[in-house]
């Protein structure tokens, strides 16, 4: 009678092979917890005013953390939970390097906080934190009083975002009326009619062009109109003059 031993030997070979693979896989997985994957280099770019040490602390990425098992997405969420951080990217570079790239939220205006102070507002309408006394950023205001709508803050902030940093420093207030039109009051007292909050970059550039025009010609202006940014006008001694 033929022996059945060869039939039984085949399955045994597969079992042994699978066992060997399992041991190898377990060994490889265990290796990922070895000192080889401990972070020895953590590079931070774009930390700016927040500081590299604070960024590391916020992210939870510290020296010695296991790079292989690091949850980069969770670290990014921790960073972006801080209102000063607009966006964050955390990249693992095996075996032992982590790169953190930060884009800080830039303040463009101030909003009254109801406590006698002001909060700094980013271009996206997010509050970045309390402003230092004497901040040179323009204050957002509304003719009907203080707004409670984030959408209204966002629209008003877009006007400040369209300005160059130099122009922002010249603007005391950005006032939005109930109908949606915008006017600026410069620190010099000059009133600027913006019209609706559209073409804000072009309107900001038009205001700067008028101010340069007045400075070169030695004119003292009292008002500027940039409703049509391609044809701005300036009022001097009660007379409106087209500039450009």
Q: Which domain holds residue 100?
A: 36-104
Task: Give pLDDT, residue 11.
Answer: 56
Q: 237 and 124 in one domain? A: yes
Report pLDDT for 16.
43
CA–CA dist 231, 214 (Å, integer):
15
- Same domain, yes or no, for 116 and 133? yes
What gap in Å lies between CA 209 and CA 180, rounded to an integer? Answer: 24
Taking each helix axis from N to C end, the angle separating 200-217 and 150-161, rounded to the nearest 10 degrees, works out to 40
Q: Are residues 43 and 137 in the same domain?
A: no
Residue 62: the pLDDT is 92
How buried is 99 (Cβ within 10 angstroms: 0-12 exposed, 13-18 middle, 19+ buried)? middle
Other Cβ atoms less than 10 A from the Cβ of 82: the count is 19
Quote the pTM value.
Answer: 0.78
Instruction: Determine contact, residues 212/223, Cβ cutoff 8 Å.
Output: no
Strand partners, 103: 87
Based on the domain organization, do 158 and 217 belong to the same domain? yes
CB 130 within 8 A of CB 117: yes
pLDDT at 10: 52
- pLDDT on residue 224: 97
Both 225 and 120 in one domain: the answer is yes
Residue 226 lies in a domain: yes
Query: How far is CA 65 from each of CA 92, 179, 225, rounded to the nearest angstrom?
Result: 11, 55, 58
CA-based nearest residue to 82, from 65, 99, 59: 59
CATH of the domain at 117: 3.40.50.10960
Q: How would you write the pLDDT of the chain (244 residues) with one tens digit per residue?
A: 444 444 344 555 545 444 445 444 555 668 899 999 999 999 999 999 999 999 999 999 999 999 999 999 999 999 999 999 999 999 999 999 999 999 999 999 999 988 889 999 999 999 999 998 889 999 999 987 766 577 888 989 999 999 999 999 999 999 999 888 999 999 999 999 999 999 999 999 999 999 999 999 999 999 999 999 999 999 987 777 888 7
| Cβ neighbours of residue 59 closer than 8 Å, sequence gap 6 or more | 75, 76, 78, 79, 88, 90, 100
Residues 6+ apart with CB under 8 A from 186: 170, 171, 172, 192
Residue 134 confidence (pLDDT): 85
Tokens of 66: 């296991």
The answer to whether the beta carbons of residues 168 and 160 sit under 8 Å apart is yes
Listed residues 84, 104, 124: the one ending a domain: 104
The answer to whether residue 158 is domain-embedded is yes
Check whether residue 93 and residue 196 sit in a common domain. Answer: no
Alpha helices in the chain (DSSP H): 5-31, 52-59, 72-80, 150-161, 165-168, 200-217
Question: What is the per-residue burial (b if ≥16 Cβ within 10 Å, else e) of 197-225?
Answer: bebbeebbbbbbbbbebbeeeeeebebbb
Same domain membership, residue 226 and residue 145: yes
Render the burial of 39-49: b for 16+ CB within 10 Å, e for the rest: beebebebbee
- pLDDT of 239: 78
Q: Judge whether 87 lies within some domain.
A: yes
* pLDDT at position 12: 56
Number of domains in the chain: 2
Q: Residue 45 is part of a domain; what is its CATH number? A: 3.10.20.310
């Amino acid at each position: 009678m033929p022996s059945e031993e060869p039939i039984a030997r085949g399955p045994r070979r597969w079992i042994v092979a699978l066992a060997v693979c399992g041991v190898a896989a377990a060994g490889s997985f265990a290796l990922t917890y070895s000192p080889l994957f401990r972070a020895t280099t953590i590079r931070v770019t774009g930390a700016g005013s927040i500081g590299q040490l604070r960024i590391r602390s916020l992210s939870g990425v510290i020296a010695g953390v296991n790079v292989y098992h690091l949850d980069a997405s969770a670290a990014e969420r921790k960073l972006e939970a801080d209102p000063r951080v607009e966006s964050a990217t955390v990249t693992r570079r095996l075996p032992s390097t982590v790169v953190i790239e930060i884009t800080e939220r830039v303040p463009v205006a101030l909003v009254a906080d109801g406590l006698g102070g002001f909060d700094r507002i980013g271009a996206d309408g997010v509050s970045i934190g309390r402003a230092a006394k004497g901040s040179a950023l323009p204050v957002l205001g509304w003719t009907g009083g203080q707004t409670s709508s984030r959408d209204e803050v966002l629209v008003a902030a877009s006007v400040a975002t369209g300005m160059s940093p130099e122009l922002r420093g010249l603007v005391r207030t950005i006032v939005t009326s109930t109908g949606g039109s915008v006017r600026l009051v410069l620190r010099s007292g000059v009133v600027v009619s913006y019209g609706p909050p559209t073409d804000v970059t072009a309107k900001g550039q038009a205001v700067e062009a008028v101010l340069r025009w007045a400075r070169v010609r030695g004119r003292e202006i009292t008002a500027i109109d940039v409703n049509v940014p391609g044809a701005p006008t300036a009022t001097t001694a009660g007379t409106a003059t087209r500039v450009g």
